[in-house]
Amino acid sequence: MMDTKAADLGKLLTLEQDIRLSANLTELTHLICNRSREIVDFTQAALAIQAPSGQMRISGFSDIAVVDRTAPLVAWLEQQLVGLAAEPAFIAPSAEARETVVDLVPENILVLPLYAPAKGLLGAFTVTRMQAFTDDEKSLLSHMAAVFAHAIAAHRDIPLLVRTKAAMSGRRKWAIATAVILAMLFPVHLTAIAPAEITAADPFIVAAPMNGAVERVLVKPNQQVTTGLPIIQLVDIDLKNDLEIARRGYRIAEAELLRARQLAFSSTEDKALLGALAAQVELKRAEMVFAETQLARATIRAPHDGIAIIDDPRKWQGRPVATGEQILKLAKADNVEVQVTLPVADAITLAQGSDANVFLDIDPFTKYRASVI
């Protein structure tokens, strides 16, 4: 007697070990439906798995490789499992209930719900045979059902809907439903992080005022600038030389005019040159003012407050430019657009007027509020 119990215990432990080592749900189904006969003798066994919709679907039969879902016995068993309680219990369908398949199944039918405390009702294990099941066999089957439920839970990611349905009952169901409805009243914001580029809605074009070459750009991309701030420096060596020459020419013309005025009291010839020399002084003064203006134009200043929009300032160093050629744009701080390059994996639907936050590279800790247009 002791040897028989030891052998049965060994078979049970071996089955449990094989179940734990099963690679997938298909292999597990085969073990449950066929190897269970080594522990408790039965004629037929069927395993039903609860679908996400809550319906019990037969996934395996003993001695059958593929379940025929059109078979009358499959449909009858699934019908019997409708409304199966989640609590572990034995269910024996009445003779009237199995009248339509009396020739297909033996008289004694036991249905054991497969229940995992953490995940609720997962399925059902049905066994049939001609002889009634003893109390010891029922106890073994109850233990095996718990093992099967644990294994199925490990192999199958139970949808949240099924777990929630198993957990909800009575007042708890209404309390949870009320909480869900109240939670739906609060807006949930979708977020995504993506690189952004500042573009002006109505930008001011900062262009080269003359032919020349860019020495360097004095501002960074997206930098806030104020009126009169130097933003671009053109190469001004020739302009400085021209200004120095113009100043010397002006001083020489003034000296010649002063000398002629002093000699005009004693020389009629020098007096006659006063008009021409005065005109020469005015010409040299105009040339000097023009040279000063050109030198001042070599330093381009911001015409108004705004944000400097430029791709890469280093690309402009030493680059020749023509008069009117665009170098950068100046956007007003209160009238800018942000072009966001969102990856496909993070693509979300954005409605017009949705809120957005922008962080600039030059000031990453300051948040600028924006809206989708």
Is 189:264 a contact under the CB 8 Å cutoff?
no
Go through the domains of the chain in sequence order and give each one's CATH number: 2-167 (3.30.450.40), 195-231+301-373 (no CATH), 236-297 (1.10.287)
Is 108:45 a contact under the CB 8 Å cutoff?
no
Q: Is 308 helix (H, G, I), strand (E, B) or coil?
A: strand
Is 337:271 a contact under the CB 8 Å cutoff?
no
How much is the average pLDDT of 330-349?
Answer: 76
Strand partners, 326: 207
Is 155:25 a contact under the CB 8 Å cutoff?
yes
In tens, the pLDDT along 27-85 reads 888 888 888 888 888 888 889 888 877 788 888 888 887 888 778 788 888 888 887 76
Give the Cα separation of 111 and 124 in Å (integer). Answer: 7
CA nearest neighbour of 216 among 315, 304, 309: 315
Is 243:287 a contact under the CB 8 Å cutoff?
no
Q: What percent of the chain has pLDDT over 70?
A: 84
Angle at 131 between CA 126 and CA 134, to 5 degrees: 75
- Which residues, in sequence order, are CB contacts of 57 under 8 Å at separation 6+? 48, 49, 50, 51, 78
- pLDDT at residue 91, as a whole number: 59
- pLDDT at residue 262, as a whole number: 77
Three-state SS string over 187-235 comes to CCCCCCCCCEEEEECCCEEEECCCCEEEEEECCCCCCEECCCCEEEEEC
- pLDDT at residue 158, as a whole number: 45
pLDDT at 103 over 60: yes
- pLDDT at residue 194, as a whole number: 76
Give the Cα separation of 91 and 273 in Å (integer). Answer: 132
Chain centroid to CA 123: 36
Residue 184 CA neighbour count, 13 Å, CB half: 6
Q: Residue 276's CB: how many other CB atoms inside 10 A?
A: 11
Phi, psi for residue 31 in degrees, rounded to 5? -65, -45
Whole-number average pLDDT of the chain: 80
Q: What is the DSSP string of 135-204?
A: HHHHHHHHHHHHHHHHHHHHH----HHHHHHHH--HHHHHHHHHHHHHHHTS---------EEEEESSPE
In tens, the pLDDT along 175-232 reads 777 887 887 777 776 667 777 777 767 788 888 888 888 888 888 888 888 888 998 8
One-letter identity of residue 28: L
Is 8:26 a contact under the CB 8 Å cutoff?
no
